[in-house]
């Protein structure tokens, strides 16, 4: 009869995600982006990330998940795009795999983000 693996042994086994990304184990660092970003554009707070990720000493043994990353019409132009590129390098330092959840426009965007008046109705997938 086969021995039942312990929870520690199960967590230490490699895991292949449906997208093909192979994780060395099931250890995950949860989202931080949405709690550290600041108005008005909610771009990545580079200095805060450098300090925080340095404390974690994140490496390839963990999956890093970042949530509610707000994209806006200026995200692909300077200086915002350069900030996102630097953030991506920090988030993936040491070979850390990183998965990013983009914010659902209107439903998860912080109040004041974007180009609409504060009380203007948002057009979202849910409202169509």
Evaluate whether 58 touches 90 at the Cβ level (below 8 Å): no
Tens of pLDDT, residue by residue over 22-50, are 888 887 777 666 667 676 666 677 777 77
- For the chain, the domain total comes to 1
pTM of the model: 0.62
**Local confidence band at 54 (pLDDT 50, 70, 90 cut-offs):** low
14 located within any domain:
no
Evaluate whether 15 touches 23 at the Cβ level (below 8 Å): yes
103 located within any domain:
yes
Report the percentage of the chain scoring pLDDT > 90.
5
83 located within any domain:
yes
3 located within any domain:
no
On the question of pLDDT at 20 being above 90, the answer is: yes
**Local confidence band at 18 (pLDDT 50, 70, 90 cut-offs):** very high
64 located within any domain:
yes
On the question of pLDDT at 109 being above 70, the answer is: no
Tens of pLDDT, residue by residue over 62-96, are 777 777 676 667 777 788 788 888 888 888 877 88
Nearest of 116, 90, 108 to residue 29 by alpha carbon: 90
Task: Give dist(CA 8, CA 21) in Å, integer.
Answer: 21
Residue spans of beta strands (DSSP E) within 10-128: 15-16, 22-23, 28-29, 63-69, 98-102
8 located within any domain:
no
Mean pLDDT over each residue of the chain, to the nearest integer: 74
* Per-residue pLDDT at 6: 92
Task: Give dist(CA 50, CA 55) in Å, integer.
Answer: 9
Q: Decide which of 123 and 47 is more confident.
A: 47
49 located within any domain:
yes
Structural domain that includes position 83:
27-33+43-127
97 located within any domain:
yes
């Amino acid at each position: 009869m086969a021995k039942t693996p312990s929870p520690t042994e199960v967590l230490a086994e490699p895991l292949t995600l449906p997208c093909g990304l192979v994780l060395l184990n099931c250890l995950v660092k949860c989202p931080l982006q949405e709690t550290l970003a600041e108005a008005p554009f909610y771009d990545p707070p580079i200095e805060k990330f450098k300090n925080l990720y340095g404390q974690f000493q994140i490496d390839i043994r963990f999956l890093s998940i970042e949530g509610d990353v707000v994209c806006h019409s200026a995200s692909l132009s300077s200086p915002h795009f350069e900030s996102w590129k630097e953030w991506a390098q920090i988030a993936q330092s040491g070979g850390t795999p990183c998965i990013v959840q983009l914010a659902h426009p209107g439903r998860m965007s912080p109040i004041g983000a974007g180009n609409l008046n504060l009380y203007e109705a948002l057009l979202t997938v849910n409202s169509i």
